[in-house]
Chains A and B, each alone.
Chain A
Amino acid sequence: MVQGFFLGLSTGAVCLAYCAPTLVPYILGEGKGVWQTSIIVAQFLGGRLLGYLFFAVIAWGLNCSLVNQLGSNEGAIGVIYIILAAALALYGLANKSALCAGRSSTWSGLWLNGQRPAMIPMSLGFLTGLNLCPPFLLALANASEFNQLSQSILFFFNFFLGTTVYFIPAPLLGTFNWLPAFKVVGKLAAAITAIYYLYTGIVMIGGGLLL
């Protein structure tokens, strides 16, 4: 089981690189202090843990065969990217202080405007957890050796703990909250990241169409 932790520790920098384009704009966009940013990071990591555990269950239930296929299937990852893009775009553009002229009074608008703030970082964390980044695929390959669900879950939990070490400095981004401009930059960056994921998703789905 310790193997999962060390695997996470050795590959966590890559996990951080995968999560940063989603997490950093969100933290800046919220404009909170270090303590409140710590809570945001914890919520994001909680969502990411849920994503990992979701795969742990699937890996155990399907003996990894389907998940491994998913890993090599760019179309499936492309769909996850597009969902992530939609979540980021909603956050970046539908938020009350964003540039978009129209204010939303729909459920999504209420949700994004702070009625249920914990859900946003958790959703983003969950979707990045489903990203199937290279370290995660490595973990999947290891998890396929376990026969019991508890073993699979524990392995992924330890893997998550190992990668989380690299997120410890993330709350320090809260020190930038003294300048309100960072909030605008963060929200705009979230919208641009959404375009990136949308673009990546479309390219992955349409990747087979070689000219």
Chain B
Amino acid sequence: MTNRVINPDILRPSAVSPLKVLLCSLPMLILTAFLISRGSMPVEPLKVVAFSMTYILINGLFFLMIYTGKVYHYRAILFITVAVAFIIAFGANLLEERGSMLLRTENTLAGDAPFCHLVIPAIIIPAVVTKTIIFPGTIIDRFASISGMLVLWLGASVALGRGWCSWVCFYGGLDEGFSCLCRKPVIKNIADQWRYLPWAVLLVVVLVSALTFSPAYCEWLCPFKTVTEFSAITSFKILVQTIIFLLLFISLVVVLPILTGRRIQCGLFCPFAAFQALTNKFNIFTIGINREKCVECKRCVKGCPTFSLDTVSVKQGKPLLSCTKCGKCIDNCPKQAISFRLKGIPVGVNTQSAKILFLYPAFTFAAAVGGGFIYGALIRVLKLITTGSMF
């Protein structure tokens, strides 16, 4: 029997009174009602139940985040839930629209492929050079259109920087979920050089996409094809691609996160993550490390899910460019030396205000994207339970 020690800090309420927290959560209560319902409140009993469950879950987590002062724990719950809900909702949508999760040639020709943010780095050079978006999706129509996703990504990038990867990305929760399964990592030491792998993958993906005029990452390297949309195996090439997707998913999203306790796909492979890290340059929110309080216990370095802290960066009082603002280092720090910070404001000053200022846009985007998926997935599951069919 393993002894699991629950960090008592996770359960300890902050000094803020519940009434103040409730008042602080009030704008989010109103905002999420619109975001989840997309402006029209449900009337069907089943949808009302699904809506209520989603609404309570999201706002409950936000309340607890403010009340306990612990960001990572409750964010992770939401993030993992969103990833699972995404797979259910997305898969069910595809099954309803196409009758299959397979992407066939006719779907590609019809521009029927849902656009996802992971493609964005690959489409830039061809878009600039030829004014062509090298993706078989639609610009404005249908589910997950190119323009819709680009607008969402631009907004979230301005507001959160690489915070996208811990608050908005609907794939990252899978990686995070598996990384949380193992309390004591089997693989502890990973060479620093591997942190540059996402940049190398990004470089190759961008160059090869410009060469082939096709989204190279989607075609060859996306592990999430295994659980979302995949091509019908009609050739030797697609067979090889499918094997690659499967191997990458098992290794990068399941096995290695379990063995290391880190988000390996997000931290050491995803080219979009490297690309998104650049947005941290102009994003106003960051993490600050108070050197006066820091005792160099390295809990933050060992715990960072995306390898965004090392001993050098801790000494400099700031994370690396790849920081996803997940809040784990803040929760892990025994001396409260780490906090959210607004650039330009000294470390350790107005940390509570900085946290609230960050949590609002972060949670709004999380609720806008994730809330819809949770709501959609719950409707499908409830339908399945009550009628025996998801559709």
**Alpha-carbon separation in the docked complex, A122 to B96 (Å):** 55
The minimal Cβ–Cβ distance linking B232 to chain A, given in whole angstroms, is 11
Chain A 171-211, CB-CB to B under 8 Å as 1, else 0, gives 00000000001001111110111001001001100111111
**Alpha-carbon separation in the docked complex, A197 to B207 (Å):** 13
Asked whether A202 lies within 8 Å of B203 as measured between CB atoms, the reply is no
The minimal Cβ–Cβ distance linking B150 to chain A, given in whole angstroms, is 24
In the complex, whether B21 has a CB less than 8 A from a CB of chain A is no
Asked whether A207 lies within 8 Å of B236 as measured between CB atoms, the reply is yes
Asked whether B208 lies within 8 Å of A21 as measured between CB atoms, the reply is yes
**Alpha-carbon separation in the docked complex, A152 to B186 (Å):** 62
In the complex, whether A111 has a CB less than 8 A from a CB of chain B is no
**Alpha-carbon separation in the docked complex, A21 to B199 (Å):** 14
Known: A17-B211, A20-B211, A193-B204. A188 touches B197 (CB 8 A): yes
* Closest Cβ neighbor of B204 among chain A residues: A192
Known: A21-B204, A99-B191, A196-B204. A185 touches B239 (CB 8 A): no
**Alpha-carbon separation in the docked complex, A175 to B201 (Å):** 21
**Alpha-carbon separation in the docked complex, A187 to B204 (Å):** 11
The minimal Cβ–Cβ distance linking A119 to chain B, given in whole angstroms, is 23
Chain B 269-301, CB-CB to A under 8 Å as 1, else 0, gives 000000000000000000000000000000000
In the complex, whether B31 has a CB less than 8 A from a CB of chain A is no
* Closest Cβ neighbor of A22 among chain B residues: B207
Asked whether B199 lies within 8 Å of A185 as measured between CB atoms, the reply is yes
* Closest Cβ neighbor of B200 among chain A residues: A188
**Alpha-carbon separation in the docked complex, A209 to B200 (Å):** 32
Known: A99-B191, A188-B200. A196 touches B234 (CB 8 A): no
Please report which residues of chain B, range 42-59, place their CB below 8 angstroms from some CB of chain A when the two chains form the complex: none
Of the candidates B129, B194, B236, the one having the most CB atoms from chain A within 10 angstroms of its own CB is: B236
Cβ contacts under 8 Å, A51 to chain B: none
- Which residue of B204, B234, B236, B237 is within 8 Å of A189 (Cβ)? B204
The minimal Cβ–Cβ distance linking B290 to chain A, given in whole angstroms, is 27
In the complex, whether B220 has a CB less than 8 A from a CB of chain A is yes
In the complex, whether A18 has a CB less than 8 A from a CB of chain B is yes
* Closest Cβ neighbor of B194 among chain A residues: A99
**Alpha-carbon separation in the docked complex, A21 to B203 (Å):** 8
**Alpha-carbon separation in the docked complex, A210 to B240 (Å):** 12
- Total B residues in contact with A, Cβ cutoff 8 Å: 23
Asked whether B210 lies within 8 Å of A211 as measured between CB atoms, the reply is no
- For the side of the interface on A, what is the size category? 20 to 34
**Alpha-carbon separation in the docked complex, A192 to B268 (Å):** 14
In the complex, whether B384 has a CB less than 8 A from a CB of chain A is no
Asked whether A25 lies within 8 Å of B203 as measured between CB atoms, the reply is yes
**Alpha-carbon separation in the docked complex, A25 to B239 (Å):** 28
Known: A192-B200, A199-B220. A210 touches B207 (CB 8 A): no
**Alpha-carbon separation in the docked complex, A28 to B199 (Å):** 12
Please report which residues of chain B, range 196-224, place their CB below 8 angstroms from some CB of chain A when the two chains form the complex: 196-197, 199-201, 203-204, 207-208, 210-211, 220
Asked whether A211 lies within 8 Å of B203 as measured between CB atoms, the reply is no
Cβ contacts under 8 Å, B193 to chain A: 99, 184, 188
**Alpha-carbon separation in the docked complex, A186 to B200 (Å):** 7
Cβ contacts under 8 Å, B196 to chain A: 181, 184-185, 188
**Alpha-carbon separation in the docked complex, A206 to B129 (Å):** 33
* Closest Cβ neighbor of A203 among chain B residues: B237
**Alpha-carbon separation in the docked complex, A208 to B237 (Å):** 10
Asked whether B207 lies within 8 Å of A202 as measured between CB atoms, the reply is no
Cβ contacts under 8 Å, B199 to chain A: 181, 185, 188
**Alpha-carbon separation in the docked complex, A210 to B239 (Å):** 10
In the complex, whether B387 has a CB less than 8 A from a CB of chain A is no
**Alpha-carbon separation in the docked complex, A199 to B208 (Å):** 13
Cβ contacts under 8 Å, B194 to chain A: 99
Of the candidates A28, A189, A191, A207, the one having the most CB atoms from chain B within 10 angstroms of its own CB is: A189
In the complex, whether B235 has a CB less than 8 A from a CB of chain A is yes
* Closest Cβ neighbor of A194 among chain B residues: B204
**Alpha-carbon separation in the docked complex, A209 to B234 (Å):** 11
The minimal Cβ–Cβ distance linking B275 to chain A, given in whole angstroms, is 13
13 contacts between A and B (CB under 8 A): A20-B211, A24-B203, A185-B199, A187-B200, A188-B196, A189-B200, A189-B204, A192-B204, A193-B208, A196-B220, A199-B220, A207-B237, A210-B235
The 8 closest A-B pairs by CB, nearest first: A188-B200, A189-B200, A21-B207, A17-B211, A192-B204, A189-B203, A185-B199, A184-B196
